[in-house]
Amino acid sequence: MQHQLSSLDYIVFFVYFLIVAGYGIWIYRRKTGHDGTAEGDSKDYFLAEGSLTWWAIGSSLIASNISAEQFVGMSGSGFKMGLAIATYEWMAALTLIIVAVFFIPVYLKNKIFTMPQFLHQRYNGTVAMIMAIFWLMLYVVVNLTSILYLGAIAVSSISGLNLEFCMYALAAFAIIITLGGMKVIGFTDVIQVFFLILGGLATTYLALNMVAEHYGQTGVLNGFNLMTEQAGDHFQMIFKRDNPNYIDLPGLTVLLGGMWIVNLNYWGCNQYITQRALGADLPTARAGILFAAFLKLLMPVIVVLPGIAAYVLYKQDVFGAAEFMQGGEVNPDRAYPVLLNILPTGLKGLSFAALTAAVVASLAGKANSIATIFTLDIYKKVLNVDASEKKMVAVGKIAVVVAMLLGVLIAPHLGIDKKGGFQYIQEYTGFVSPGIFAMFILGFFWKRTTSTAALFATIGGFLLSVLLKFLPNIMDLSWLAPMGFAVPNAAGIYEIPFLDRMGFVFLICVATMVIISVFETNRGVKTNGLEVDSSMFRPQRSFTIGAMVIVTILTALYTIYW
């Protein structure tokens, strides 16, 4: 199998590069106007205040979210466990509707532009600063590095280029886009999503057609039907307890439990994501988020079905088992790169561009969020209180470059490739997601929530997550097995599935926060409530219709593939 690109592939890729770079430069020149005013406005640079359209917001949300961990990691999970992994994407579509209706109005009504600003306004400066520093560390050490390293591995395996060179090239491409600010990121993401979807669908088409041709038929529909016949166990959305993958996706928890915490925290309490909508008015922000929800329904077709197709072809030894081997074992994350390497000339370049688009867009979005938090919540509040707008933009640009350099330098030393990128991100963010979400949700909708309660969620939630992670090494948890809350791992030790663990920690955090808050407010402690009224949560008719369409589609999907 050829692990390099042809001249035509490189031409296709460079056309993509020139289109994105050229469009980005045009947007930058058009939006700044070279009069110095827009370029020196920090809110304009970090948030593109009032500039992004609904389709730019929706595209940017997806482009920032979909990256190498989806293309490579989620395709690998499709290879290993099947369509069930699509729950991360399809439940996200439903989550986005909830965020648009209940979360975004609160942010916009209270003029909140960063997540630490929300914590400062709702609780106090201590909580805000602790979380600002934490988010910076998480974004640089976990998210930025994993996107960069996984993306470089995928690009290297397809092109044959040196891994280190690929990391620096991806970082440089992302820096070029990021230095233009959120306007350039938002509008270039429209092109990135176009290439992402076009190249992704092309790969899916070829993969399904290859399955059909292997069995003497043609066409993607025949290929899909053959996949459901040859790998029926890979088309179940809800796992039973005897399924070997139950520990990753524990049954109804994906509909009623911890999956909600994963998604609501990611889509509603995450600077990296919410930043796309915080510079728009409410109708535009909601329309953009709804557009992103529709695109989310499509993502499993692009990132999961190819993995299942690769599994069917692997079982038939179409590629040769060696292509999937790493360290003497089958590595499911090899599925997507293997598929890309068998694409015809030209189309391989298009799919290569799609993968690169996904990685670069995510890197740019993450770097911009890092710069926003550092500049507005640390530099402006602590290091230089009197900093001018122009100075903050300059500091933000420096932060982008520094963050990307740190990512390139530390990524190879974190063992991301051994752990698996998707699991790497979920494991480390999952230790704090329950506490953060509890702190946000009570801060939104319960005025009596105190700063002490928020501190408990921040620190106590993390410590509880660590405790439950290592609890199986201290005591026998087999008594939880009849309820489905514990399953034996490879060593035969009963442990709590990751998503259930998050659910338990969230419930404990909420209960404890309520107790602390009631105790303190009864003793006269004052709290900082947000401006909230019921009229904020009333969506437009067009949004309601679109949301109902999404709910209907999701209901049908889960009914068919239960």
Residue 327's pLDDT is 62
Task: Kindly state the average pLDDT of the residues 115-142.
Answer: 84
Quote the DSSP letter at residue 219. S
Examine residue 153 and state whether it is found in any structural domain, yes or no.
Answer: yes
Average pLDDT in the 116-131 region? 85
The pLDDT mean for the chain works out to: 82
Q: Are residues 502 and 460 in the same domain?
A: yes
Predicted confidence (pLDDT) at residue 4 exceeds the cutoff of 90: no
Of 377, 406, 430, the residue at which a domain comes to its end is: 430
Report if residue 560 sits inside a domain. Answer: no
Q: How far apart are CA 139 and CA 366, in angstroms?
A: 7
Distance of CA 190 to the CA centre of its chain: 17
> Is the domain of 232 the same as that of 296?
yes
Same domain, 114 and 189: yes
Q: Count of domains in the chain?
A: 2
In whole angstroms, give the CA distance from residue 513 to residue 224. 49
91 pLDDT band, cuts 50/70/90, is very high
What is the per-residue pLDDT for 225? 92
Q: Which of 465, 403, 503, 362 is nearest to 138 (CA)?
A: 403
The mean-pLDDT minimum among 248-252, 287-291, 520-524 falls in 248-252
CB 32 within 8 A of CB 179: no
3-state secondary structure of 206: helix
Angle between helices 7-32 and 182-214 (to 10 degrees): 150
- Closest to 537 in 3D by CA, of 112, 102, 100: 102
pLDDT recorded at residue 36: 43
Q: Is the pLDDT of residue 32 over 70?
A: no
Look at residue 244 and give its three-state secondary structure.
coil
Q: Are the CB atoms for 197 and 190 separated by under 8 Å?
A: no
Question: 369: Cβ–Cβ under 8 A, 6 or more apart, which residues?
Answer: 139, 271, 272, 275
Query: 401, 430, 459 — which closes off a domain?
Result: 430
The pLDDT of residue 558 is above 70: yes
pLDDT of residue 43: 58
- Whole-number Å distance between alpha carbons of 268 and 441: 10
Q: Which pLDDT tens digit goes with each residue over 468-507?
A: 888 888 888 888 888 778 888 777 788 888 888 889 999 9
Name the band, by pLDDT with cuts 50, 70 and 90, for residue 181: low
- Burial class of residue 7 (count of CB atoms within 10 Å of its CB; 0-12, 13-18, 19+): exposed
CATH code at position 155: 1.20.1730.10
Query: For residue 454, which of 126, 43, 25, 113 has the smallest C-alpha distance?
Result: 126
Q: Do 202 and 55 fall within a single domain?
A: yes
- For residue 124, the model assigns a pLDDT of 85
Residue 442: what pLDDT? 92
Last residue of a domain, one of 403, 430, 457: 430
pLDDT value at 547 more than 90: yes
d(CA 220, CA 201): 11
Secondary structure of residue 109 in the 3-state scheme = helix
What local confidence, expressed as pLDDT, does residue 35 receive?
A: 43
CA dist., res. 445 & res. 98, Å (int) = 14
**Structure tokens that stand for 190 in this block:** 């429209």
Question: What's the pLDDT score for residue 351?
Answer: 76
On whether both 324 and 292 belong to a single domain, the answer is: yes
Provide the pLDDT confidence category of residue 34 given band limits of 50, 70 and 90.
very low
Q: Are residues 411 and 329 in the same domain?
A: yes
| Same domain (yes/no): 499, 423 | no
In eight-state DSSP terms, residue 344 is P
Residues 486 and 417 occupy one common structural domain = no
Span 35-44, pLDDT tens digits: 444 445 555 5
pLDDT digit string, tens, across residues 442-455: 988 888 999 999 99
Q: Are 180 and 301 contained in the same domain?
A: yes
DSSP-assigned beta bridge partners for residue 433: none
Q: Is the pLDDT of residue 182 over 70?
A: no
Of the listed ranges 31-45, 52-66, 80-94, the least confidently predicted one is 31-45
Confidence class for position 512, pLDDT limits 50, 70, 90: very high
Q: CA–CA separation, 39 vs 183, rounded Å?
A: 11
User: Which of 365, 324, 446, 433 is closest to 80 using CA atoms?
Assistant: 324
pTM over 0.85: no
For 300-339, what is each residue's pLDDT tens digit? 998 899 999 988 888 887 777 677 766 667 778 778 878 8
Average pLDDT over residues 81-98: 92
Tell me the pLDDT tens digit for each residue of 214-238: 888 888 899 999 999 988 889 999 9
Asked if 512 and 384 sit in the same domain, the reply is no
Let me know if residue 2 belongs to a domain: no
Q: What is the mean pLDDT of residues 547-555?
A: 95
Q: What is the enclosing helix (H) or strand (E) of 326?
A: strand 325-326
Of the spans 281-285, 313-317, 321-325, 345-349, which averages the highest pLDDT?
Answer: 281-285
Whether 90 is covered by a domain: the verdict is yes
Is 398 inside any structural domain?
Answer: yes
3-state secondary structure of 330: strand
pLDDT of residue 421: 54
Residues in the chain: 562
Q: How many CB atoms lie within 10 A of CB 282?
A: 17
Give the model's pLDDT for residue 37: 40
Task: Flag whether 77 is in a domain.
Answer: yes
**Domain check: are 376 and 448 in the same one?**
no
Q: Could you read off the pLDDT of 411-462 as tens digits, one per residue? A: 777 665 554 456 666 667 778 889 989 999 998 888 899 999 999 998 898 8
Statement: residue 550 has pLDDT above 90 = yes
Is the predicted pLDDT of residue 1 greater than 60, yes or no? Answer: no
pLDDT band of 135, cuts 50, 70, 90: confident
Residues 181 and 206 in one domain: yes
What does the pLDDT read at residue 449?
Answer: 92
pLDDT > 90: percent of the chain: 18
For residue 62, pLDDT beyond 50: yes
Handedness of CA 194, 88, 131, 449 (dihedral sign): positive
In a domain, 27, yes or no: no
For residue 404, the enclosing domain spans 48-430
Provide the 3-class DSSP secondary structure of residue 160.
coil
The predicted pLDDT at position 456 comes to: 92
**Residue 545 falls within a domain, yes or no?**
no
Closest C-alpha among 556, 540, 461, 551 to residue 506: 461
Average pLDDT of 75-95? Answer: 90
Per-residue pLDDT at 29 exceeds 90: no
